Amino acid sequence: MPYTDHFAHADDLIAHLDTFVVGLGDPLLKVKYTGFLSVSAVTVYELAVKDIFIAFASQKNSVFGSFTAEYCSRMNGKIKREDLEKDFIKRFGSKYMKRFQKKIEECEKTSLRISGISVKACYSNLITWRNQFAHEGVLSTTATYDEVKKSYQQGKMIIDCLAQTLVR
């Protein structure tokens, strides 16, 4: 299954939530839905990242693919950009690390030039909001539903950069 298929889960959730979250009168309930969306979005990212790593390793060698699948099973939400680089991409070799960093910088420059939005900040913020909600039970007072939604959409570009990096 292509890694992008995982995005459909969060995209469908957003389409559903869009129909009523904006009109909610209860701000606390709106924040809870925002937290729920952040958890769903980061879960989708994690599934996509795992698929990218496993597919890449499997193309190299079936044993390497099995090893990578086992290694990724312990990922447990560690998908910050720094974690991807330090704990995963680095293990595939410096060539892939440099390629990933170059693609991220190109993507960042393009996004800032076109929309004034930092994809790196969006990706990082979404993971932070998710962790606060899921692990600390903290409801973000700064992240709005629209910001979480926008960050999810922009953050997909980081996942795309990973997929473009790990090709044979």
* SS3 assignment for 114-131: HHCCCHHHHHHHHHHHHH
Q: What angle do CA 139, 144, 149 make, to 5 degrees?
A: 110
pLDDT value for 116: 97
Q: How many domains does the chain have?
A: 1
SS3 of residue 136 by DSSP:
helix
Model pLDDT for residues 88-131, shown as the tens digit of each residue: 999 999 999 999 999 999 999 999 999 999 999 999 999 999 99
pLDDT value for 165: 97
- C-alpha to C-alpha distance for 92 and 108, rounded to whole angstroms: 23
pLDDT value for 136: 82
* Six-digit token string for 140: 């973000």
Smallest Cα–Cα separation from 79: which of 68, 67, 91, 87? 87
The number of angstroms, rounded, from the C-alpha of 6 to the middle of its chain's C-alpha atoms is 11
pLDDT value for 75: 83
Q: What is the mean pLDDT of residues 123-147?
A: 89
Model pLDDT for residues 1-53, shown as the tens digit of each residue: 899 999 999 999 999 999 999 899 898 899 999 999 999 999 999 999 999 99
- C-alpha to C-alpha distance for 91 and 87, rounded to whole angstroms: 7
- C-alpha to C-alpha distance for 69 and 137, rounded to whole angstroms: 30
Q: What angle do CA 61, 66, 69 make, to 5 degrees?
A: 120
Q: The whole model's pTM is what?
A: 0.94
Q: What are phi and psi of 117, to 5 degrees?
A: -115, 135
pLDDT at 166 over 90: yes
> 61: which residues sit within 8 A by CB, 6+ positions away?
none
pLDDT value for 77: 80
- Residue 52 lies in domain: 3-165
Q: What angle do CA 32, 29, 142 make, to 5 degrees?
A: 55
- C-alpha to C-alpha distance for 26 and 92, rounded to whole angstroms: 48
